């Protein structure tokens, strides 16, 4: 069982394996500033997948200009859009976060830079940190033609940047219905700051956001 599955299972009274003592926080990368900047006006919505949705939600909930970050499932059907089924890795869903943002404060390309600097390692295939399986894949889900153009340009730029030694493994996926995750997954970092998983894996992402993107960091967690 993936580590996050263990922690949720423990909270629900389900038996699971124990935390590996050797687990460490993920690496922080100096993802490049986007050469192709997004041209957007008015509130926009984006969907990102990058491993456990708790950490991605936490990072964007602390990002200035983000008005909402919601954990959920993308890429599968309604009938299997539940945590107990998605963690099997057989439903086609990715754990994802739907982000609503104000492009006059933060652009789509800047959200991508943050995601792949402090949120997720873009070279990992079907895994992030301690979690394994296709539900933990890294994916960008463009919501319009502008986002798609920016995402395609940025992935190509990341591959040329020399920041990563391994090939970029991020997929661009067509938008399908986004299913909001169960209530106990929403604002998880805020509600469970002492969780072993949060302390070990996700709180360091927020600290890296503050250290590496101080102009984009918001100390208050934006709920909802």
Does the active-site annotation cover 17?
Answer: no
Q: What is the pLDDT of residue 8?
A: 47
What is the pLDDT averaged over residues 192-203?
97
pLDDT exceeds cutoff 60 at 202: yes
Q: Is the pTM of this model over 0.85?
A: yes
Indicate if the pLDDT at residue 15 is higher than 80: no
Chain-wide mean pLDDT for the chain?
91
How confident is the model over 107-135, as pLDDT tens digits? 999 999 999 999 999 999 999 999 999 99
CA-to-CA distance for 208 and 28, rounded, in angstroms? 7
Residue 176 is encoded by which pair of tokens?
């399908």
* Mean pLDDT confidence for 145-164: 98
Q: Name the catalytic one among 31, 46, 49, 52.
A: 52
Instruction: Assign 10 a pLDDT band (cuts: 50, 70, 90).
Output: very low
The pLDDT of residue 137 is above 80: yes
Secondary structure of the chain in the HEC alphabet? CCHHHHHHHHHCCCCCCCCCCCCCCCCCCCCCCCCCCCCCCCCEEEEEEECCHHHHHHHHHCECCEEEEEEEEECCCHHHCCHHHHCCCCCCCEEEEEEEECCCCCCHHHHHHHHHHHHCCCCCCCEECCEECHHHCEEEECCCHHHHHHHHHHHHHHHHHCCCCCCCCCEECCCCCEEECCHHHCCHHHHCCCCHHHHHHHHHHHHHHHHHCCCCECCCCCCC
CB atoms within 10 A of CB 114: 25
Q: Which CATH number fits domain 34-210: 3.90.209.20, 2.170.190.11, 1.10.10.10, 3.30.1060.10?
A: 3.30.1060.10
Alpha carbons 223 and 29: distance in angstroms, whole number: 26
Every domain of the chain and the residues it spans: 34-210
Query: Is residue 64 a contact partner of residue 106, using CB atoms and an 8 Å limit?
Result: yes
pLDDT of res. 14: 31
The pLDDT score that the predictor gives to residue 27 is 84
**pLDDT of res. 4:** 53
Q: What is the pLDDT of residue 180?
A: 98
168: number of CA atoms within 13 Å, CB side?
A: 21
The per-residue pLDDT for range 44-89, each reduced to its tens digit, is 999 999 999 999 999 999 999 999 999 999 999 999 999 999 999 9
């Amino acid at each position: 069982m993936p580590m996050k599955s263990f922690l949720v299972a423990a909270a629900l009274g389900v038996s699971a394996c124990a935390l590996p003592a050797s687990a460490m926080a993920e690496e922080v990368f100096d993802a490049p500033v986007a050469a192709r900047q997004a041209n957007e006006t008015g509130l926009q919505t984006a969907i990102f997948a990058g491993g456990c949705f708790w950490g991605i939600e936490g990072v964007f909930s602390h990002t200035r200009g983000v008005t909402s970050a919601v954990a959920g499932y993308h890429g599968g059907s309604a009938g299997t859009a539940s945590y107990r089924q998605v963690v099997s890795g057989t439903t086609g869903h990715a754990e994802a976060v739907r982000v609503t943002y104000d492009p006059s404060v933060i652009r789509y390309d800047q959200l991508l830079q943050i995601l792949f600097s402090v949120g997720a390692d873009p070279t990992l295939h079907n895994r992030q940190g301690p979690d394994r399986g296709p539900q933990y894949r890294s994916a960008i889900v463009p919501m319009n033609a502008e986002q798609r153009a920016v995402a395609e340009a940025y992935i190509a730029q990341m591959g040329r940047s020399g920041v990563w030694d391994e090939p970029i493994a991020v997929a661009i996926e067509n938008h399908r219905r986004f299913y909001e995750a169960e209530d106990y997954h929403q604002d998880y970092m805020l509600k469970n700051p002492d969780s072993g998983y949060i302390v070990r894996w996700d709180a360091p992402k927020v600290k890296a956001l503050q250290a590496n993107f101080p102009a984009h960091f918001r100390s208050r967690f934006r709920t909802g």
